[in-house]
Amino acid sequence: MQHSKDSLNLQFIYAYPLDNELRRSFEEREQVYPMRDEIRDVMKRWKTIWQTENEQHSLLEKLSQITKRVPERNLECFIFGRGLSPKSTPFMIPIWNRKQEQWSDEKFIDLMIHELLHIFLVTDNDSYWELVRKKYHNEELVTQNHILLYAMLYQLYQDIWNTEPMDFSRDNLPPGYARAIEMVKEIGYKELISEYDQFTAEKSVDASDVWLS
């Protein structure tokens, strides 16, 4: 079902079956895993933080505006303890990072916007991503997937908080992600977003030829 921009809503759901499976796996290896009460407490706090930030800054609306897309699926973020990285499909975030620590509130918002951008950008956008594969065929797939995303993430952070995303100042990013940020800095985030806007506005063979030039 296609949602309208005004009807966008996000829910946080405790991923009970996944969490149980991961918990059992970690306990069998005698490794620490978050207690269920901690997971529920974090999820409750995150829900409040997200609602506050979204109401104050219209985050979902801004994501729709910058991507020119409205997700076709329900926005359900599944929360669990640890063991898997944050993902957009399925949309899920662990409460612990690799250091077995809870994410900071700032990092939580950063993760949310990052994964939501993935969700918005793959909505009814196959032709755009086909062009990305052609234009950046020499780059890793993870780099291709993050060039425009990091450009938009940078624009959003500038517009909302007058700062840059956390990944832009990290020195331990995986190479594919670091390369995408390097390309955003080389090409320019405004230029990358402008190219995307041109493509989505025209969606024609001629527009594709221009975009690929």
Read off the pLDDT of residues 151-184 as tens digits, 9 standing for 90 and up: 999 999 999 999 999 999 999 999 999 999 999 9
Mean pLDDT of the chain: 93
Q: What is d(CA 157, CA 17) in angstroms, rounded to the nearest whole number?
A: 35
What type of residue sits at position 167? D
Are both 142 and 179 inside the same structural domain?
yes
Q: What is d(CA 131, CA 78) in angstroms, rounded to the nearest whole number?
A: 31
What is the number of domains present in the chain?
2
Mapping DSSP onto H, E and C, the string for 134-193 reads HHCCCCCHHHHHHHHHHHHHHHHHHHHHCCCCHHHHCCCCCHHHHHHHHHHHHHCHHHHH
Q: Is the pLDDT of residue 18 over 70?
A: yes
Are both 24 and 97 inside the same structural domain?
yes
Strands 10-14 and 91-94 turn out to be unpaired
pLDDT at 8: 83
Q: Is the pLDDT of residue 211 over 60?
A: no
* Strand order across the beta sheet in which 91-94 lies: 10-14, 75-80, 91-94, 87-88
Q: Is the pLDDT of residue 132 over 50?
A: yes
165 contacts 178 by C-beta, under 8 angstroms: no
pLDDT at 23: 98
pLDDT at 124: 94
34 contacts 22 by C-beta, under 8 angstroms: no
Q: Is residue 184 part of a domain?
A: yes
Residues of 16-53 as b/e, b for ≥16 C-beta within 10 angstroms?
A: eebbeebbeebeeeeeebbeeeebeebbeebeeebeeb
Read off the pLDDT of residues 83-123 as tens digits, 9 standing for 90 and up.
Answer: 999 999 999 999 999 999 999 999 999 999 999 999 999 99
Are both 44 and 131 inside the same structural domain?
no
Q: What is d(CA 172, CA 163) in angstroms, rounded to the nearest whole number?
A: 20
Are both 24 and 57 inside the same structural domain?
yes
Q: What is the mean pLDDT of residues 40-64?
A: 98
Report how far apart, in Å, the C-alpha atoms of 74 and of each of 3, 43, 59, 139 are.
8, 18, 16, 32
pLDDT at 4: 57
Are both 147 and 191 inside the same structural domain?
yes
Are both 92 and 26 inside the same structural domain?
yes
Q: What is the mean pLDDT of residues 19-33?
A: 98
Q: What is the mean pLDDT of residues 52-64?
A: 98
pTM exceeds 0.75 = yes
**Residue-range definition of the domain harbouring residue 202:** 126-212
Are both 99 and 130 inside the same structural domain?
no
